[in-house]
Structure 1
Amino acid sequence: MRPWLCLLFLLSFPALANKVLLIESYHSGFAWDKSYVEGIKQTLQAGIEFDSFQMDTKRVPPTEYEKMAELAFVKYIEYKPDIVILGDDNALKYLWPKLYDEPISVVFLGINSNPREVLKNYRGQAQITGVLERPLFVKTIGELKRLIPGEQMNVRIMFDSGVTSHIARQYIERQYSLIHSNLGVDVEIVSARTQNEWQESILSAPDDGFSVVIVGLYQTLVDNTGENVPADEIIVWTNQNSTIPVFGFWDFAVASDKAAGGVVLFGKSQGVTAGQLVNKIVNGESARSIPIQIGNQGNAIYSKAAMAKWGLTPPSHWQAID
């Protein structure tokens, strides 16, 4: 083939940006991360080189977040990716100020906060888009009212005191204040810092007048020595010791020895959506032209064993996971 024909052939196809770096706020052992990483990997088109860095902010203290962000940025410098994926709020908060003027595209996922509050202060050549994550509070309450009929439902919602929990709590509080009179449900939100605080709130819930517990996030709880408590230990204990039904907002909280069910968010769907956005950028679209999206609206799932533990019959449209 003549040289000019070769050049014409090459120019007729967009240049592929084939190096992608994922910066995770958390760690590979966290079920949410496992799930969305699976979604990303199965969605990215062939030929894309992929690597990741874990900030581990579910387990290291907040005083270490900036240090972990510096290490993530070192990884970025060494890897030289064309596209960076920022997983969850801490990655966006701590890395966008370092990446905003780099010649790259950025895709975020799992963001509970308003990303514009972070983005507005840092405008440069980096282009950014992504997918938001919102707890399905109203949908969950609506389903629970049908599942557990009665004149009055009182719900205690449990969170840890981490950054994402704080943001998710604010979002739920805003929704609740807007439609409290329509729900016919009284809600209290607890932010526990320690394992003991969590356990006391679970055990006291019936005496405090609550009929249902919904667990949010529980990955940053510490024991009486200040050490992080494994997340599964928290949710399994909750299943074993709660005398009232326990439901969840995230899929990783639902299992035979965990929460009974709920209208839940799936990490995998966030990963799939983020992967689709990366593919669009690889194929020539500008990240700046791709609208920020709200993730999949969730599915109602349940564990047969956990439902039976609390004597509940799941609605026919809920999906069994065991």
Structure 2
Amino acid sequence: MNRTLTALSLGALMALQLCLSPRAADAETAADDAGYRILHVMSYHSPWRWTDGQLQGFKEALEDLQVEYRVFQMDTKRNSSPEAKERVGREARALIDAWQPDLVYTTDDDAQEYVARHYIDADIPFVFSGVNKDPATYGFVGSRNITGVVEHEHFVESVQFLGKIVPGVKKIAVVFDDAAMWDPVRERMLKGAGRLPGIAFGPWDTIRTFAEYKRKISEYQDTVDAIGLIGIFNFKDEGGNNVPYQEVLKWTAENSRLPDFGFWVDRVHYGTLCAVTVSEQEQGLAAGRIARAILAEGRSPAEFPMQPTVKGLPVLSLARARDLGFIPTTSILLSSEVIQSYDWDSR
């Protein structure tokens, strides 16, 4: 059974606890005897391929077990203020305390910052995936109940793939929004740049508004050969609201003549030229295998090192390549996942 809860109020949770009569409590015990209860706290929202794919991979690893799932969507990409994150983090923690799952699966960084780190060395095991920051940032290293899978982007491979599609790229601008999760990504990219001789990177721009983003993209047209579109979720409109990343990418595809790359497959569906993607399926599958060992084999979370998955997949937007005037070679097409059209054309 899969129940999805978004921004569940603390009042509702208190009412839930009050409603647990002895008969209801007996039913909960029976459910426990029949299987496991797992709460998935996702930083972001569903439907979205990145979050849904992680959960799909996680479930695949536990498909031989009887599991009741609940899903809590923090929705922090669309509601990114510190106040909103604090509020929804409290609600997720209240749900954990009320439902007492056998294991909590947390995906991406906000779920670690606002939920998981409050349970270090608690009795409930936590398994994470999709985490960009060093787990030590959250105090997880050395904890007895928290482990998981780190997300490291395929930066060098993505730039090399771009170079196969568009030979002659020598200078690349890199774009971030102001989310703290991009700090370690930027650091890894700066280190990786040394493995890409002959290519200069810069400017490394942190952009806060959609209007500023549009200005920067226009400036890049005459100053660089390509763009790395990394952090694109927190650009504010005139009303201070986050502009959906799909809208950001659609505008880019329609107004930029420069090739661009990212690290995630959903970006390519919305017009980014290419990526060697972090596999959301592999992230979730690796986390699920850890969770299965904890639940079914009685192993301790502390036994599992916190390390990244290594599998990457080249993905190409054929629609964007055509619009930019590039003709990918047969070898590129045969060795890549090819997105034939823009997502908005199919709606």
Q: Same fold (TM over 0.5)?
A: yes
3-state SS of 2:271 partner:
coil
Where do 1:144-293 residues align within 5 Å?
Answer: 144-150=162-168, 153-176=170-193, 179=194, 182-188=196-202, 189-207=204-222, 209-255=223-269, 257-284=270-297, 285-293=299-307
Cα deviation, residue 205, structure 1: 0.8
Q: List per-residue Cα deviations over 1:76-118 (Å, max 9, x = no partner).
A: 0111111111111111122233211321211111111110232
Gap change, CA 1:16 and 1:110, over 3 Å in 2: farther
Task: Tell me the secondary structure at the aligned position of residue 163 of structure 1.
Answer: coil
How far did residue 234 of structure 1 move? Answer: 0.8
Question: 1:40 maps to which residue?
Answer: 58
**2:205 and 2:234 mapped to 1: Cα distance?**
14
SS in 2 for 1:225: coil
Size of the alignment, in residue pairs?
Answer: 300
TM-score by length of 1: 0.86
Taking the aligned partners of 1:32 and 1:269, their CA distance within structure 2 comes to 11
- For 1:165 and 1:210, locate their aligned partners in 2 and report how far apart those are by CA, in whole Å: 22
- Does structure 2 conserve the Cα–Cα contact (< 8 Å) formed by 1:213 and 1:246? yes
Judged with a 3 Å threshold, the aligned counterparts in structure 2 of structure 1 residues 35 and 162 are, in CA distance, closer, same or farther, namely: same
Q: Does residue 1:97 correspond to 2:114, yes or no?
A: no
Q: Distance in 1 between matches of 2:321 and 2:189?
A: 25
1:49 lines up with 2:85 in the alignment: no
Q: Which runs of 5+ in 2 are unaligned?
A: 1-32, 341-347
Q: Give the Å deviation of 1:216.
A: 1.4
The amino acid that maps onto 2:288 is: G
Describe the SS at the equivalent of 2:115. helix
Give 1:170 deviation, angstroms: 2.7
1:321 and 1:266 mapped to 2: Cα distance?
A: 16
Equivalent-residue separation in structure 1 for 2:91 and 2:171 (angstroms): 45
- CA distance 1:160–1:30, shift in 2 (3 Å): farther
Is the partner of 1:190 in helix, strand or coil?
Answer: strand
Q: CA deviation at 1:37?
A: 2.2
Measured in 2, the distance between the counterparts of 1:251 and 1:313 equals 20
Task: Please say if residues 239 and 246 of structure 1, whose CA atoms lie closer than 8 Å, have aligned partners that are also in contact.
Answer: no
Which consecutive unaligned segments of at least 5 residues does structure 1 have? Answer: 1-14
Does the Cα contact within 8 Å between 1:129 and 1:292 map onto a contact in 2?
yes
Deviation digits for residues 220-240 of structure 1 (CA, Å, limit 9, x no counterpart): 221011012122111111111
Quick check: 1:23 aligned with 2:44? Answer: no
Aligned to 1:133: 151
Shift of 1:17: 6.8
Change (3 A) 1:120 1:249: closer
Paired residue secondary structure (1:183) = coil
**Aligned mates of 2:217, 2:311 — CA distance in 1:** 28
Tell me the CA shift for residue 266 of structure 1. Answer: 2.6
Summarize deviations over 1:11-46 as a string: whole Å, max 9, x none. Answer: xxxx99711111111122444212222322333223
Counterpart of 1:174, as a letter, is K
Q: Distance in 1 between matches of 2:103 and 2:114?
A: 17
Is the contact between residue 37 and residue 102 of structure 2 (CA under 8 Å) also seen in structure 1? yes
- Considering only aligned residues, what root-mean-square deviation do their CA atoms show, in Å? 2.1
Measure the CA separation in 2 of the matches of 1:59 and 1:238: 19
Asked if the contact 1:16/1:282 (under 8 Å) is kept, the reply is no
1:169 maps to a residue whose letter is R
Post-superposition shift, 1:55? 1.8
Instruction: Select between 97-106 and 25-34 the one with higher mean Cα deviation.
Output: 25-34
Q: How does 1:56-95 map to 2 (within 5 A)?
A: 56-60=75-79, 61-95=81-115
Does the 8 A contact of 2:210 with 2:237 survive in 1? yes
CA contact (8 A) 1:159 1:192 kept: yes
